[in-house]
Chain A
Amino acid sequence: MSLLEIKNVKLKLDDKDILKGLSLSVSKGEVHAIMGPNGSGKSTLSYMLAGRDGYELESGEVFLEGQSLSDMEADERARSGLFLAFQYPVELPGVGGMSFLREAVNSRRKFLGEEELDHLAFVKEARKVASKMFVKDEMLKRAVNVGFSGGEKKRFEILQMAMLKPKVSILDETDSGLDVDALKIVSDGVNAQRNDDNAIVVITHYQRLLDYIVPDFVHILSDGSIIKSGGPELALEVEKNGYAGLINAA
């Protein structure tokens, strides 16, 4: 059974067709890359999956571990193990990173029927994960994403992913705005979480990220639908010929 099953979804924003019959099946242990030019609907797809208000489906359906998402709110989907690393992480003034993480992790643990972590145990765990992501303790004390550099924001997203241990993670342009060193750290962080039980969907504009996070499958998204799927070599084709070549051929 696939972990994430997207079945022929259509979605309008402002009366404009954005997703136009998109299907995708992601199984345990897989990493999928969705590549597409700007405006092709990548972020829209990720918001739709995460259940953002205003991104309700026109038709089609999405299943997470066989369960339909249509009646689930964003927070229920998250607690069920769907994680979205934001293209533009949001600032929460005054909300400390550590307490935010803790509320998030405990919500997920509660859902899974696990005991909530006490303060000390939590801080210990968070510090361990943070050090692997080269996130300093000091950053966890600051307000979430406030005054973070582009690289810090992305590292904090992946840190949250590591703490929440989601079933399905969608990474929306996690590589954008990163220099090579930061890209390496973030990719290592993501790769460390690959296992036989979860799945990762990497959304990106550029092939570059896929040198670090090597996908099992690559899909080309254009104008709201997937026009071509293949293995990692498809990404190299994009690199060589650009999207235009592929789109015209389709």
Chain B
Amino acid sequence: MVATQETIDKVKEVSSTYKYGFVTDLEAEKAPLGLGEDIVKFISHKKKEPKWLLDWRLKAYKKWLSMEAPNWAMVDFPKINFQDIYYYSAPKTKPKLNSLDEVDPELLRTYEKLGIPIKEQEVLAGVAVDYVFDSVSVATTFREKLAKEGIIFCPISEAVQTHPDLVQKYIGSVIPISDNYYAALNSAVFTDGSFVYIPKGVKCPMELSTYFRINEQNSGQFERTLIIAEDDTYVSYLEGCTAPQRDENQLHAAVVELVAMNNAEIKYSTVQNWYPGDKDGNGGIYNFVTKRGNCIGKKSKISWTQVETGSAITWKYPSCVLKGDDSVGEFYSVAVANNAQQADTGTKMIHIGKNTKSTIISKGISAGKAQNTYRGQVQIQKNAKGSRNFTQCDSLLIGDKCGAHTVPYINQFTPHARVEHEATTSKISEDQLFYCLQRGLDTEQATSLIVNGFCKEVMKELPMEFAVEAQKLIGISLEGSVG
């Protein structure tokens, strides 16, 4: 538990400024600036990829060229110049993976600053972490223990080499390259990410975790994660993100695909605190992410839990396609937007199989001048008889310059299903604040307590160590918003 405490302490000492705003001074190996077929080939070549993958990337690139950036989200930002981004960046002193001792000490210090001790014995109790540093995974822990169970947990670039059949079978199977603009872009230029395979009948004995970090200036990060859970399995995956403080905006366009077979359960948790930009909206991460899970098997279950406190713009709709009869999809979300942050996030629940069930609990918190939108789609297809959805969207406003919006889309093609939607909007009342102050809590403690109370239903879905960290982060990201 040493590591957990360390992480918590780290978060505690954070002041009102973004604490992860340091830059690691590593010489990076970059692809030339900009995007073109040659860059796609460069990336594929760097990664020594098989031809099918290069072809797949090129197809995605061509598709992307023909697509338009979506403009339906309630977010506002200048047009992105895709020629002004580096699509590949790797630390030059590329360490071998034999031992953690060989990892660049500078890199280790970066992780220490992030509060994630890289040394195996210090890794969060029972958490195996696959570190992604810019585009190359530099260290993977607990691999051996997992391998004993037949579990594969490695960088996806490595899986392409060691398990090409699995990757080829499932990549793009949940989110096809033509799905949307940013997914197409990711398919063309993704550099790394995690790959998880849980063989039949195995319950993964520990939480799997990846910390993503964008370091190189002007480098977009395009991770790609693929998790496959065979029949009768369980896996819980944690994703945490931070990025250094920069004046420019950085693009982050990830794709995450989940596949759950019969009776398989995947729990995917995210705590996202990418740099949100300054008070006036300068800098910060553009977080345009496509996440989707296929509940292919009967009685399969996919559960998304997200705590989104960072990024200048969040555009993200982790979704579930409920194909298998009796399959279950869940979405638990806390989205905090302060100052000039804009969040447009929600989920899609597509009910295809019979007696499928989905639950959506969304808690949006807006402060400063921020705009926070919940956008959710519930679709009950014709054969999804006996299906049920329950949606609850609560918004909390802090101050009177921010906004909260709820945009539910419900498409029901059979009468034999039940869809319920509840929405509330509230403010932190002066009475509540005064009550807390009268008990000796300061304004920030009080706000944090009230906000965390508001988010409780979602927070309790997070694994313990993450919940503590997430609570602190919410407090930190709202600092200065009251009083």
Binding site for B on A (CB under 8 A): 50-53, 73-75, 78-79, 83-84, 86, 89-95, 99-100, 103-104, 107-108, 111, 143, 160, 164
Pairwise interchain contact B432-A75, C-beta atoms closer than 8 A = no
Pairwise interchain contact A92-B453, C-beta atoms closer than 8 A = yes
**Besides A50-B438, A90-B431, A103-B445, 4 new A-B residue pairs in contact (Cβ under 8 A), listed by A number:** A83-B438, A104-B439, A111-B440, A164-B439
Residue of B nearest to A105 (CB): B440
Decide: A103 near B453, CB < 8 A? Known: A53-B430, A90-B432.
no
Pairwise interchain contact A75-B453, C-beta atoms closer than 8 A = no
Pairwise interchain contact B453-A74, C-beta atoms closer than 8 A = no
Decide: A100 near B449, CB < 8 A? Known: A52-B434, A90-B435, A94-B455.
yes
Least CB distance from A68 to B in Å reads 19
User: Is B416 part of the binding interface, using a Cβ–Cβ cutoff of 8 Å?
Assistant: no
Residue of B nearest to A80 (CB): B440
Residues on B with C-beta less than 8 A from A91 are 432
User: Chain B 443-457 against A: per-residue CB contact (8 Å), 1 yes, 0 no?
Assistant: 101100110111111
Residue of A nearest to B435 (CB): A90
User: Is B442 part of the binding interface, using a Cβ–Cβ cutoff of 8 Å?
Assistant: yes
Residues on B with C-beta less than 8 A from A73 are 437
Separation of A35 and B38 alpha carbons in the complex (Å) = 86
User: Is B14 part of the binding interface, using a Cβ–Cβ cutoff of 8 Å?
Assistant: no
Residue among A73, A86, A92, A143 having the largest count of chain B Cβ atoms under 10 Å: A92
Residue of B nearest to A90 (CB): B435
Residues on A with C-beta less than 8 A from B436 are 92
Residues on A with C-beta less than 8 A from B442 are 75, 107
Residues on A with C-beta less than 8 A from B166 are none
Pairwise interchain contact A84-B438, C-beta atoms closer than 8 A = yes
4 nearest A-B pairs in the assembled complex, by CB-CB distance: A94-B453, A95-B453, A107-B440, A94-B456
Pairwise interchain contact B440-A75, C-beta atoms closer than 8 A = yes
Binding site for A on B (CB under 8 A): 429-432, 434-443, 445-446, 449-450, 452-457
Pairwise interchain contact B441-A103, C-beta atoms closer than 8 A = yes
Residue among A73, A89, A94 having the largest count of chain B Cβ atoms under 10 Å: A94
Least CB distance from A66 to B in Å reads 20
* Interface residue from A79, A84, A92, A103 paired with B432 (Cβ < 8 Å): A92
Pairwise interchain contact B454-A74, C-beta atoms closer than 8 A = no
Least CB distance from B255 to A in Å reads 34
Least CB distance from B435 to A in Å reads 4
Separation of A75 and B449 alpha carbons in the complex (Å) = 15
Decide: A100 near B439, CB < 8 A? Known: A92-B450, A95-B450.
yes
Per DSSP, chain B at the interface is helix
Separation of A94 and B456 alpha carbons in the complex (Å) = 6
Separation of A17 and B450 alpha carbons in the complex (Å) = 34
Separation of A160 and B432 alpha carbons in the complex (Å) = 16
* Interface residue from B432, B437, B449, B456 paired with A74 (Cβ < 8 Å): B437
CB pairs A–B below 8 angstroms (18 shown): A50-B434, A53-B430, A74-B438, A75-B437, A75-B443, A84-B438, A86-B435, A86-B438, A89-B435, A90-B429, A90-B435, A92-B435, A92-B449, A92-B450, A93-B453, A93-B454, A103-B439, A104-B441
Least CB distance from A235 to B in Å reads 27
Residues on B with C-beta less than 8 A from A79 are 440
Pairwise interchain contact A143-B453, C-beta atoms closer than 8 A = yes
Separation of A103 and B445 alpha carbons in the complex (Å) = 9
Separation of A51 and B439 alpha carbons in the complex (Å) = 12
Residues on A with C-beta less than 8 A from B453 are 92-95, 143
Residues on A with C-beta less than 8 A from B445 are 103, 107
Least CB distance from A156 to B in Å reads 11
* Interface residue from A52, A94, A164 paired with B440 (Cβ < 8 Å): A164
Pairwise interchain contact A95-B440, C-beta atoms closer than 8 A = no
Separation of A54 and B147 alpha carbons in the complex (Å) = 64
Residues on A with C-beta less than 8 A from B456 are 94
Separation of A170 and B446 alpha carbons in the complex (Å) = 22
Residue of B nearest to A104 (CB): B439
Pairwise interchain contact B439-A160, C-beta atoms closer than 8 A = yes
Residues on B with C-beta less than 8 A from A51 are 437
Residues on A with C-beta less than 8 A from B455 are 94
Least CB distance from B383 to A in Å reads 38
Least CB distance from A72 to B in Å reads 11
Residue of A nearest to B457 (CB): A94
Separation of A90 and B433 alpha carbons in the complex (Å) = 9
Residues on A with C-beta less than 8 A from B432 are 90-92
Separation of A113 and B431 alpha carbons in the complex (Å) = 29
Decide: A75 near B441, CB < 8 A? Known: A53-B430, A90-B435.
yes
Separation of A53 and B442 alpha carbons in the complex (Å) = 14
Separation of A53 and B433 alpha carbons in the complex (Å) = 10
Residue of B nearest to A163 (CB): B439
Residues on B with C-beta less than 8 A from A108 are 440
Least CB distance from B129 to A in Å reads 27
Residue of B nearest to A52 (CB): B434
Residues on A with C-beta less than 8 A from B441 are 75, 103-104, 107
Separation of A74 and B432 alpha carbons in the complex (Å) = 13
Residues on B with C-beta less than 8 A from A160 are 439
Residue of A nearest to B445 (CB): A103
Separation of A89 and B432 alpha carbons in the complex (Å) = 9
Residue among B438, B455, B456, B457 having the largest count of chain A Cβ atoms under 10 Å: B438
Separation of A50 and B446 alpha carbons in the complex (Å) = 16
Residues on B with C-beta less than 8 A from A86 are 435, 438
Pairwise interchain contact B435-A107, C-beta atoms closer than 8 A = no
Residues on B with C-beta less than 8 A from A53 are 430, 434
Residues on A with C-beta less than 8 A from B457 are 94
Separation of A24 and B221 alpha carbons in the complex (Å) = 67
Residue of A nearest to B430 (CB): A53
Residue of B nearest to A78 (CB): B440
Separation of A100 and B452 alpha carbons in the complex (Å) = 12
Residue of A nearest to B459 (CB): A94
Least CB distance from B217 to A in Å reads 40
Separation of A183 and B432 alpha carbons in the complex (Å) = 26
Residues on B with C-beta less than 8 A from A143 are 453
Separation of A72 and B333 alpha carbons in the complex (Å) = 38
Residues on A with C-beta less than 8 A from B437 are 51, 73-75, 78
Separation of A108 and B443 alpha carbons in the complex (Å) = 15
Separation of A95 and B432 alpha carbons in the complex (Å) = 11
Least CB distance from B439 to A in Å reads 4
Residues on B with C-beta less than 8 A from A107 are 439-442, 445
Decide: A94 near B454, CB < 8 A? Known: A74-B434, A100-B449, A103-B445.
yes
